[in-house]
Amino acid sequence: MKMCRLLSLVLIFFNFSFSQQHSRPKNIVIMIGDGMGLTEVSASVLSMENSPYKKFSNVGLSVTCSLDKLITDSGAGGTAIATGYRTNYHFIAVDTLNRPLTTILEHAKKLKKYTGVVVTSSVTNATPATFLAHIIDRSLDNEIAEQLTNQDVDVVIGGGTQYFLPKEFGGIRTDTLNLLNKILSKGYKLYTNPDSLLNSETGTRFYGLFGSECFPPASQRKYTLAQMVKKAIKELSKNKNGFVLMVEGSQIDWTSHDNNAVEFFPEMVDFNDAINTTLEFADKDKNTLVVVTADHETGGMAIIKGDRDGKNLKFAYTTKGHTPAMVGVFANGKGANLFNGVFDNYMTGRKLFNLLDPKYKFK
C-alpha cells in the first residue's frame, strides 16, 4: 500500500515537472501600446478592421501605479514590466536607491537567447530605456544611448540618432563620442534608412535607427511597425535557444497627450498590424508567448458617440496627462494562462521572468 502511494506521488511529481517544462515558451514577445488603456482598445475593437484583440484567449487587468505615485509614467510603468519591480516615477530600471534592476532582456542573454527592441519613438525613450538601461532620470537620453551601446542586445530598431552623435556630426551629444561608430566597431550592421533595412538580408545583429528623434507619425510614414517587427523576428528566430523581443507602439501615448483623435487611429492601426504580424509568427512557431499590454492609460479617453458599425467614433478626453485606469494584458501561447486575472503591473514582469526562467529569484 505504502509503495503504491509512493509510486503515485513520484508519478505525479514527474508529470507535474514535465507539464511545467512544456508550458514554457522558447520565445517571448512583449508588446506595449504606450498609453493604450481599455477605451483605446475598445475603439480598436469597435472600429478597426485589423483589430487583433478578439484573437486573445487569455486576458488580465493590470494596476499601473508606480511605487511613489498613483499616476505613473513610462519610466516606472516600463520598469515594472521589464524587471518585475515597481520603482519611482521617471526612474529607469533602477530601484529607489539607484541600484540597477536586471531587465528581462539582460537575463535572456544569460540564457543564451537573442534579444531585441523595436519602437516608433527614440530607442532612448522611457519605455525602451527600461529594457536597455539603468538610470534615475528618463530625460538623460545621451546617457541612455551610451548605456544601450554597452548592452549585448541583438536587434535595435527605432529613432533617436541625435543621441548617438556629437554636435559636429549633427547630433546633440555634449561629449565627443560617436556611438554609431561604436555600434559598427562592435560588429553590428547599421541601417539609417528604413528601405535599406527592409531590402537587405541582415544576416547578423543590427541597429535600424531612422530619424533624429523618432519615426514619423503613422499617418505620414511610408513603412510600418509590422514590417520592422517582421525583420526583427526573422533575425532573432535564428537562435535555437529562442529570443525575447519588446515592441512598442510608442506614439499612441502622444496622440492622447495632444487629445488628437485624428492621429490616434493610424497609430492604433499601425500597432494592431504589428500585433497581427507577431501572432502569425507565433501561430506557425507554436513555441512563442505573445503578451500585449500598456504601461498606463493616457488622456482619460471616453467614446461618447459613433455609428452602430463603429464608424465615426467621437472621443472626449478628460486630461492631457496620464490616468491610473487599469490596462489590459492580452496573452496567447505557452504560459499565456498565467496572465488571466487582476494584478499589479510588476506581476506582469514577474510572470514573464518566471516563464523565461523558473529559477530566477526575486528579492
Active-site residues, by number, are: 74
Q: Which is nearer to Zn ion, 106 or 253 (CB)?
A: 253
Q: Which is nearer to Zn ion, 253 or 273 (CB)?
A: 253
DSSP 131: H
Please measure the distance between the N-terminal and C-terminal CA atoms of the chain and give it in whole angstroms. 42
Q: Is 336 helix (H, G, I), strand (E, B) or coil?
A: helix
Q: How far apart are CA 64 and CA 77, in angstroms?
A: 6
Residue 3, C-beta contacts closer than 8 angstroms, at least 6 positions apart: none
Q: Which is nearer to Zn ion, 253 or 263 (CB)?
A: 253
Size of the site for Zn ion (CB under 5 A): 1
Q: Where are the alpha helices (DSSP H) in the chain?
A: 2-22, 38-47, 74-83, 104-110, 126-132, 141-150, 179-185, 194-198, 225-236, 252-257, 261-285, 345-356
Minimum CB separation from Zn ion for residue 254, in Å? 7
x/- contact string, 3-42, with Zn ion (CB under 5 A)? Answer: ----------------------------------------
Minimum CB separation from Zn ion for residue 35, in Å? 5
Q: Which residues face 60 on adjacent strands?
A: 329, 341
Minimum CB separation from Zn ion for residue 219, in Å? 19
Please name the amino acid found at residue 9. L
Q: Is 318 helix (H, G, I), strand (E, B) or coil?
A: coil
Q: Is 233 helix (H, G, I), strand (E, B) or coil?
A: helix
Which of the ranges 178-186, 231-239, 250-258, 263-271 carries the binding residues for Zn ion, by CB under 5 A?
250-258
Radius of gyration of the chain (CA): 21
Q: Which is nearer to Zn ion, 78 or 84 (CB)?
A: 78
DSSP 94: B
Q: Minimal CB distance to Zn ion: which residue?
A: 253
Q: Which is nearer to Zn ion, 235 or 253 (CB)?
A: 253
x/- contact string, 209-248, with Zn ion (CB under 5 A)? Answer: ----------------------------------------
Q: Counting contacts by CB under 5 A, is residue 253 touching Zn ion?
A: yes
Minimum CB separation from Zn ion for residue 321, in Å? 7
Q: How far apart are CA 363 and CA 352, in angstroms?
A: 16
In the structure grid, which three cell numbers stand for residue 122, read together? Answer: 527614440
In the structure grid, which three cell numbers stand for residue 286, read together? Answer: 507554436
Minimum CB separation from Zn ion for residue 296, in Å? 7
Which of the ranges 7-15, 252-260, 283-291, 343-351 carries the binding residues for Zn ion, by CB under 5 A?
252-260
Give the chain's length.
Answer: 363
For Zn ion, the binding residues (CB under 5 A) are 253
